[in-house]
Amino acid sequence: MCGICGIYNFGTSEPVNKELLHEMNQTLLHRGPDDEGVLVDGNFGMAMRRLAIIDLASGKQPIHNEDKSIWTVFNGEIYNYKELRQLLEKKGHKFYTSSDTETIVHLYEDYGEGCLAHLRGMYAIAIWDSKRKTLFLSRDRLGVKPLFYSIINNEKIVFASEIKAILRYPSISREMDYQALDAYFAYLYIPAPLTIYKGINKLNPGHFIKINEKDIVIKKYWDVRLEPDFGKPEKYFLDGFLELFREAVKSRLISEVPLGGFLSGGVDSSMVVSQMALNVEDAVNAFTVGFSGNIGAYLDERPYAKLVAEKYDLNYEMIEVEPNVESVLDSLTDAFDEPFADDSVIPSFYICKAAKKKVTVVLTGLGGDELFAGYERYLGFRLSMLYDYVPMFLTRSIIQPSIRLLPESKNGTNTINHIKRFIHASTLPLKERYASYVTTMDMFDRAKLYTKGVANKIHFEHTLDLVSSHYNSDNTSTDPLDRALYQDFKTYLPEDILALTDRIGMHHSLELRVPFTDHKLVEFCVTIPSKYKIRWLEKKFLLKKAALKYLPKEVIYHRKQGFSSPMATWLQQDLKSFCNHILSKQEIDKYGILNWNFVDRILKEHIRLQDRHDKLIFAIIMFQKWVKKAECVF
């Protein structure tokens, strides 16, 4: 695990400035505090910061092939590297390290861009072919590891694991992308390929860039295809999942440094930790986060985590988070380099901080919800198709007006808000209906959020297309639930869930591994018909059935609470004075981007329980924290 960066002046003969490259690399110190490496070859240069996990003694990067014509720096882990090494040695390749990284250069020698088909893992890779003067950049299939880049005047490319490294390059444009800004307030993250900076892009998952002095090619090399196999019985899917899941967890236990697991008390993380415990000799280090006092008690899954810890005799640690979150907001802003507002980032920050004191590698249960339809919105989407049979006049004249009058819950639960969103979206076509479930507010309200000058720069329908265009992809079946799952695979999973995992983990120099994103496991699970994912009102039906062999029933069948924070209650109570200051007219008007009258209205509605706006308010807070620090041109 590490951070990588580089410069290629492919359109000029200008040599790379080694001092500048070093300066870029130093911004990634938190990603790799153990070591650094640099390669400069005329008009090309790349560097890395290393977090040593495999081959501690000799795995220093950049790593080269036998004649030193091909070099690589690499962020991530290749879990099948031992099998690949055996294959490559039989073909005559000579290795000088025991690292997973070295397999990459030899694979590239033999297969070129086809080398990616052989890799099983998470990765962002940079390969320099000095003979052909070609740079090859790639990002793993599901997007566990990030890779950012900027192409300048069609003659230079600058790339890095984080935006902050690219921003050290002097001629990078810092102009704000207002389309990305609107996407942020719509989704609470910025979908690839956009970033908040017009001149910087994210490389999409499952894509590579190949660039030389004559050509730039950006190409997709892998995609998930949701094609359910209706000809197989339930047992086939149950057995197939368990075999591949056990393999995915076991392969991610490779490490020469201490290792542990995050245990939320939900079925996903509990399944991961159970397989860890069955495959290691010593007690597994397991970490759980909860919230102090009565605030957020409805989110507390610690009792269920404890049941799993006792069953498998885990070395178990519970972290209690107090609602004094103001102190961590600056750290969160620094970790992402652009606005990001999934409020589960707060418990994630604390649990990563605590875990790092004991381990360097952690396995998580993320990705299970996307594979097995675990989110409430999937069930709501399925139920909405039944609700279509309710007469339209009844919905519009009686049900919708009545639901709008319901006050929000005082204890911060989501039930009333979910009912309101469900009814509000019920008359929309399916694509737009699901879009309404994953956005904070519609385009008409977002237009009111901005000042007129900013709103005029935004194409609001394009913001919807950034995510919803995946709903009608040819890579999925006609089942609306499969279409929703595919959309989340392409957007929410990589740029929210996995982005959070990478940035917060690496902020603490902690590697997080995600077995549910193993591409072999994913390719199998997307063939499972949706009737085995949601049955009646039961989400994750097949996964829960598989879990009966390993987990107590109380853990499997308790109501899903999720790894989130009680933000709605915090904003009404403990964070109220902080919120009033950072969202004051003086602070909002300072940058000329947001409309204070609208911000003030939604804040008052939230405090008075007229409507629930915790996600939007937190998004505005995080934007205000970011914009205050950002080197951005408005």
Give the residue numbers annotated as catalytic, written as ranges: 2
Please give the backbone phi and psi of residue 288, each rounded to the nearest 5 degrees, phi first: -130, 145
Strand order in the sheet with 361-363: 315-321, 285-291, 259-262, 361-363, 511-513
Helix axis angle for 614-629 and 326-336, nearest 10°, is: 70
Residue 460 half-sphere exposure, CB side, CA atoms within 13 Å? Answer: 16
Query: What are the Cα distances from residue 473, in Å, to 183, 187, 482, 549?
Result: 20, 20, 11, 36
Q: Are 291 and 320 in contact (CB under 8 A)?
A: yes
Cα angle: 42, vertex 45, 50; to 5 degrees: 150
Q: Strand 538-539 to strand 534-535: parallel, antiparallel, or no bridges (unpaired)?
A: antiparallel
Q: Are 408 and 559 in contact (CB under 8 A)?
A: no
Q: Strand 511-513 to strand 121-129: parallel, antiparallel, or no bridges (unpaired)?
A: unpaired
Any residues with CB less than 8 A from the CB of 358 and at least 6 apart, and which? 258, 260, 285, 317
Residue 269: which H helix or E strand, with range? helix 267-277
Total count of residues recorded for the chain: 634
Tell me, rounded to whole angstroms, the distance of Cα 361 from its chain centroid. Answer: 17
Query: What are the Cα distances from residue 162, in Å, to 6, 149, 579?
Result: 12, 9, 29
Helix axis angle for 178-187 and 614-629, nearest 10°, is: 150
Q: Are 526 and 225 in contact (CB under 8 A)?
A: yes
What sign does the dihedral 546-548-549-555 (CA atoms) show?
Answer: positive
Annotate 276-326 with DSSP letters as a single string.
HHTT-SSPPEEEEEEESSSTTGGG--HHHHHHHHHHTT-EEEEEEE-S--H
The helix/strand/coil state of 559 is coil
Give the integer Cα–Cα distance in Å for 446 and 364.
34
Tell me, rounded to whole angstroms, the distance of Cα 368 from its chain centroid. Answer: 13
Residue 271 burial (CB count, 10 A)? 28
Give the integer Cα–Cα distance in Å for 50 and 32.
4
Q: Strand 156-160 to strand 2-8: parallel, antiparallel, or no bridges (unpaired)?
A: antiparallel
Please give the backbone phi and psi of residue 562, each rounded to the nearest 5 degrees, phi first: 80, 165
Tell me how many helices (H) and strands (E) the chain has: 30, 19
E strand spans, 373-423: none
Burial of 489 (0-12, 13-18, 19+ CB in 10 A): buried
Query: Token pair for residue 72?
Result: 């690589």
